[in-house]
Amino acid sequence: MTILGLQLSTHLLDELKAFYVDTLTLPLAEEREGSFAVEAGTSKLVFEVAEPDTRPSYYFGFHVSQNHFDSVTRRLSQRLPLHQPSGDGLGKSASRNAVFCSDPAQNVIALIPSAAPRDLQAVANQLEIDRVGELGLVVEDVQNMRQQLETRLGFTSYPMTSGTRVELRNATTTFILMPPGETILQNGGPKTAIYPIIMTLAGNINAVDRLDDYPYFIHIADISDVPGVQLATPV
C-alpha cells in the first residue's frame, strides 16, 4: 500500500509553507485558509493549523531516487543542517544511509534512497522525491498496534535494536511504531507524542478506518479505475 496522501497538523503554518516550497522546492498543490498542500512525487503532503496550545511534531520519510541520492543530499546540505538518528535507530531507513533534517516545527524528515523505478505519475521536483514512504506512529502499546497493522493491512513487522520500537513494512511503505517520550535525533529535539494524522493508502477497496482511539485515520482508496484520489476527512 503506497501512501497517496498524508495530512498533519502544525502550529507554524506559514513557516512550513516557506520551508517545503522554497527550501525543499516541492510544488505547491493547494492553499486554503488554515492549510496548504505540496506535491511530494506521487504523494500529497498536507499541513493544517493545529489545535490551540499544541505544538505538533512528527517523523516521516521521503523516498528519493537512488541514482540521484548523493547529488540531492549534497544540494540539501547547502540549504540546511543534516542530522543522524538517535542511538535507538529508525529501522531499515537508517541502514540504507538515509539522511535526516528538521523543518521549522521540528518535524524530523528522512530522505531515503530508493532503487524502485520512478513512477511516471510522480510530480517532478528538484530533490527527486518519489513519494512519502515512511511514517512514525506514536502509540502507547506498540505490540498491540503491531498486531493490528499486520492483521488489518498486511504489513510485516521487524524487530528494532531499541527494543521499544517496531518497524512494519510492505513493498513501498514503512511504519515505525514508537512509544511517547522518545527522541529521534542525536541532538535531542522534541519528544515523540501523539498528534492527529490522516493518511490515504492505495488499495483495491474504498474504506476509512481509525486506529483504536488514536487521532489516526486511514483512508484506503481503490485506485484500480480512478486516476486521482482525495484525502479523507474523518467523520
Split at pLDDT 50, 70, 90, the class of 114 is confident
- Say yes or no to pLDDT of 230 above 60: no
DSSP helix, strand, coil percent of the chain (3-state; round to 5): 15, 40, 45
> Is the CATH code 3.10.180.10 the one for domain 3-222?
yes
What are 8's three cell numbers? 498533519
Split at pLDDT 50, 70, 90, the class of 162 is low
Asked whether the whole model's pTM tops 0.75, one would answer yes
Q: How far is CA 204 from CA 1, 2, 60, 168, 207, in A?
A: 10, 12, 24, 20, 10
pLDDT digits (tens, 9 = 90+) for 128-146: 899 999 999 999 999 999 9
How far apart, in whole angstroms, are the C-alpha atoms of residue 64 and residue 22? 18
Mean pLDDT of the chain: 86
Q: Where are the domains of the chain?
A: 3-222
- In this prediction, residues 210-224 reach a mean pLDDT of 88
What are 235's three cell numbers? 467523520
- In this prediction, residues 56-60 reach a mean pLDDT of 97
- Say yes or no to pLDDT of 161 above 70: no
Closest C-alpha among 72, 79, 83, 81 to residue 127: 72
What are 191's three cell numbers? 519528544
pLDDT digits (tens, 9 = 90+) for 61-105: 999 988 889 999 998 999 999 886 655 555 555 445 789 999 999
% of the chain beyond a pLDDT of 90: 56
